[in-house]
Amino acid sequence: MNDQKKIIPDSLTTGDTIGIVAPAGSADMDRFGKGIEVLKDMGFQVVVPDDLFSPESYLAAPDYQRADIFNQMIADRAIKALICARGGFGTLRILSLVDFNSIRAHPKIVVGFSDITALIVNIYLKSGVVTYHGPVVTTLADAPMQTIDVLKGALTSGQSYQADFDQLASIQAGQAEGPLIGGNLATLCHLTGTPFMPDYDGHILFLEDIDEPLYKIDRMLTQMELTGSFNHVNGVVLGAFENCGDIELIYKLFHEKFHKHEIPVVGGLEIGHSHANVTIPIGAFAVVDADRGILMINPS
């Protein structure tokens, strides 16, 4: 479990500046532009670095350039939060280039999901700074108001952030508490065995994915299980598993994997690759009650 003192970044106010970073793939510029307008409509100024996109194959830019932009934005005191342009692929390639000490010295909100999971989880674990699993710029282009409203609330609430989610599917009974950690299952699986492999001990683990058939989800969970990743997890919360097949079979698989741990498991949280993608803080204290289908979050 992360034993660093937790740091909750300052909240934003109207007129504050959000910096856009691209740790992963290049973006569809039409969707990117629409997403930027959504952020401006929220009342924020937005800075897009001139060299944010210098496409190299499927990446937004060369590794050193993507990392340099991120590190510069972290150190820039005029930038109050960072939102990732998109997910996709490539975030793992820059983890060794990220200045985690600078993040701790200049804590600010960092938002993303999907491939960005690798970054936001490691910021929390290596810097102690709470990060936010939420939409990227391109997904804001056509996001429902629920996604936009929750993101704005997360950006502006800071230490007063609270969220309650009910009517979740009970997959395995029980109650548990602990800080939240997690994100995209495939990305977390790819971190296994690396210096950036997360420590899930004592946490509430949340997972989501897209376009992964049941046998691949099984294979990823089995790999992580064999490394002992789940041995001391307090509870599990499942988000969207878009285009992954019958959700009841997915829930059955998770019950099979976690029943011996005797921890609560719930599903149906609207996070990840679904129409709605509500923002939740990694590192925030949470309580999960699978008997009542409830998840309660408070970062303090």
Q: How far is the C-alpha of 154 from the C-alpha of 140, rounded, in Å?
A: 15
Residues in the chain: 300
Q: Look at residue 3 and tell me whether its pLDDT is greater than 90.
A: no
Dist CA 113 CA 30 (whole Å): 20
Contact 103, 128 (CB under 8 A): no
Mean pLDDT of the 118-136 span: 98
Task: Report the amino acid identity of residue 90.
Answer: G
Q: For residues 209 and 26, what is the distance between their CA atoms, to the nearest angstrom?
A: 20
- Are β-strands 81-84 and 109-112 bridged in parallel, bridged antiparallel, or unpaired? parallel
Across the chain, mean pLDDT equals: 96
pLDDT computed for residue 2 by the predictor: 59
Segment 31-49 shows an average pLDDT of 98
Average pLDDT score over residue span 233-242: 98
- Nearest CA to 203 among 176, 172, 221, 223? 176
For residue 238, what pLDDT is reported?
98
**Can you list the domains of the chain with their CATH numbers?**
17-159 (3.40.50.10740), 163-298 (3.50.30.60)
- Write a three-state SS string for the chain: CCCCCCECCCCCCCCCEEEEECCCECCCHHHHHHHHHHHHHCCCEEECCCCCCCCECCECCCHHHHHHHHHHHHHCCCCCEEEECCCCCCHHHHHHHCCHHHHHHCCCEEEECHHHHHHHHHHHHHHCECEEECCCHHHHCCCCHHHHHHHHHHHHHHHHCCEEECCCEEEECCEEEEEEEEEEHHHHHHHCCCCCCCCCCCCEEEEEEECCCHHHHHHHHHHHHHCCCCCCCCEEEEEEEECCCCHHHHHHHHHHHHHHHCCCEEECCCCCCCCCCCCEEECCEEEEECCCCEEEEECC
Identify the pLDDT of residue 229. 97
pLDDT at 158 over 90: no
Neighbours of 251 (CB within 10 A): 20
Beta bridge partners of 237: 206, 266
Supply the residues annotated as catalytic: 114, 208, 273
Percent pLDDT > 90 in the chain is: 94
* pLDDT of 145 above 70: yes
For the segment 201-230, what is each residue's pLDDT rounded down to a tens digit?
A: 999 999 999 999 999 999 999 999 999 999
Report field, pTM of the whole predicted structure over 0.95:
yes
